[in-house]
Structures are given as C-alpha cells and as structure tokens.
C-alpha cells in the first residue's frame, strides 16, 4: 500500500489531466441506469495506512460513500445499490460488529436529514433481513425510508444484513406462501411456476436489474451480491480499497461499461 501512495503522489498531476479528459467525455457515453457497488477493503485500508483499527477504516468508508453518491448524482445515474453489511459479517468479532451497527445507525439518521438527499430527491431503501438488526437501527431505517418515500429522481438501496442466497430463499418462501394462501394446491403452484414468479418478492422488486456491478479492493468475486439480479450485469473490479476510491476510478468503470457490447445471452 505504501508504494501505491508514493506512486500516486507522483502521478497525481497526470491523473488530474486524465480525469478532466474523461469528465469531458462522460456525457456522451452510454451510462448504466443501475450500479451495484460492493464496498470492500475498509479494514485493509485502515491497517495498511496506519489508522490503527478497523473502526477508522469503516468511518472513512462511510465518508467515501457520500462522496461517490455525489458523483453518481452528477452523472445522472438514477439507481445505486451498495452492500454495506452481509449476513456473514455478523460472525465477526463482537466489538467490531457493535461498532459497525452503531456507525450504520448514525449514518442512517444522517441520511434521513441530509441536504444532498433532499436536494437531489433521493429515495432511500434498505434491503436484507432487517429484522436481525437492533431495534434502534430498525427505527432509524424506518425514519430514513419514510423521510424520502415520495422522491423519484434518484434511488439509493443499502443492502444490510444481506445475503444473495437468503434473498432468493426468502422470495421463494413468500411466493409459495402467497399462492397457498390464495387456495392453490402445491401441484397447481408448481405447474404455474416459472423463473419470473419470484421476482415480485425479491428485495429489489420494482427496480431495474443492475447494469454494472463494481467491486473495490482487488477481490474478483460477487460473494453473493444480487445473485438473481446480476445474471446479465457487467462487472468491473478495481484494485483500490473503498476508502481510497477516486472520481477517476468511477469514470474508468463507466468508460469500461460504455465500451462493452451487451448481448443479454443472445
């Protein structure tokens, strides 16, 4: 990480010129309607930059999210879904989990009243097994969702206590329960079931599928993020840790998306 910092220091003037060039071109690109972001690398960033503990890395990550969202508003990307906390994260050290949940509560309350959210008319929605979260955090989520429920210009989805397999499992259970409650037999349910049957029961119901999924930190996998929805998504993997993610990194991802030919399996 140290060598990257030194390298970037000397390249900074060139990055500024390159960023300016891409910024001038971005309006002519074909841009995604929906970006999914796996915000990875907070803990490694804290460790490798000498911040001292994971908490500081997560704090920087929360700050970075606000900055990246402002770029998405600027570029006119209407839907952003970020993965903030997986179900697997619940098994981390207790003190780290408690710190994360406290941070999420503060940031959620901040979202509910943040000027950028209201100026840009951003609807905030949380996805996941929210019932597993502390009651105070659930209350903060209800406040943020309620304060932004009428907005339609942009949408921010925050996946929290989220797992892709669990989402599919929950969607199928809801579909099956709804059909049986309507008086259908199991044989009738199975006879009418197809791949679109559970889509209205997914956490992302009513939203376009993600066109582009971006992951930071150099990991090249989805780890269960939006498994059902990402069948035809384009992927972009960035070596930079999430707290160090730059505007030029987002521009590069958008340029890469623009240059691809999407076939949707055809």
- Each residue's pLDDT tens digit, 70-97: 999 999 999 999 999 999 999 988 999 9
Contact 53, 127 (CB under 8 A): no
**Strand positions, DSSP E, 76-210:** 79-86, 122-127, 154-162
Q: 167: which residues sit within 8 A by CB, 6+ positions away?
A: 127, 128, 202, 203, 227, 228
Which helix (H) or strand (E) segment holds residue 116: the answer is helix 115-119
Q: What is the average pLDDT score of the chain?
A: 92
Q: What angle do CA 213, 250, 81 make, to 5 degrees?
A: 40
Q: What pLDDT is stored for residue 143 in this prediction?
A: 97
**Strand positions, DSSP E, 34-185:** 34-38, 79-86, 122-127, 154-162
Catalytic site positions: 40, 89
Tell me the CA distances in angstroms from 32 to 139, 145, 187, one per residue in order.
32, 24, 40
Phi-psi region of 142 (alpha: psi -120 to 50; beta: other; left: phi over 0): alpha
Q: What pLDDT is stored for residue 18 in this prediction?
A: 80
Edge-first strand listing for the sheet containing 79-86 = 122-127, 154-162, 79-86, 34-38, 212-215, 234-237
pLDDT tens for residues 107-142? 999 999 999 999 999 999 999 999 999 999 999 999
In 3D, which of 117, 167, 171 has the Cα closest to residue 143?
117
% of the chain surpassing 90 pLDDT: 83
Q: Return the structure tokens found at 98.
A: 């408690």
pLDDT tens for residues 192-241? 999 899 999 999 999 999 999 999 999 999 999 999 999 999 999 999 99
pLDDT tens for residues 5-47? 556 655 666 778 888 888 888 989 999 999 999 999 999 999 9
């Amino acid at each position: 990480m140290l060598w990257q910092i030194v390298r970037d220091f000397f390249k900074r003037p060139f990055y500024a010129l390159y960023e300016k060039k891409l910024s001038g071109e971005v309006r002519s690109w074909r841009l995604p309607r929906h970006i999914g972001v796996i915000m990875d690398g907070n803990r490694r960033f804290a460790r490798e930059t000498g911040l001292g503990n994971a908490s500081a890395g997560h704090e920087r990550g929360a700050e970075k999210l606000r900055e990246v969202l402002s770029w998405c508003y600027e570029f006119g990307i209407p839907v952003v879904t970020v993965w903030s906390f997986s179900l697997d994260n619940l098994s981390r050290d207790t003190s780290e989990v408690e710190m994360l949940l406290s941070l999420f509560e503060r940031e959620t309350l901040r979202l509910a009243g943040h000027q950028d959210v209201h100026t840009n008319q951003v609807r905030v929605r949380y996805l996941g097994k929210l019932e597993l979260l502390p009651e105070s955090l659930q209350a903060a989520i209800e406040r943020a969702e309620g304060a932004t429920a009428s907005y339609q210009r942009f949408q921010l989805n925050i996946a929290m206590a989220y797992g892709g397999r669990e989402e599919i499992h929950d969607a199928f259970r809801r579909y099956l329960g709804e059909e049986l409650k309507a008086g259908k037999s199991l044989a009738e349910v199975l006879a009418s079931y197809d791949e679109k049957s559970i889509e209205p029961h997914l956490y992302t119901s009513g939203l376009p599928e993600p066109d582009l999924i971006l992951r930071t930190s150099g990991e090249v996998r989805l780890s269960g993020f939006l498994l059902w929805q990402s069948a035809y998504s384009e992927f972009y993997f960035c070596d930079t840790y999430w707290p160090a993610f730059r505007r030029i990194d987002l521009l590069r991802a958008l340029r890469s998306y623009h240059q691809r030919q999407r076939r949707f399996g055809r």
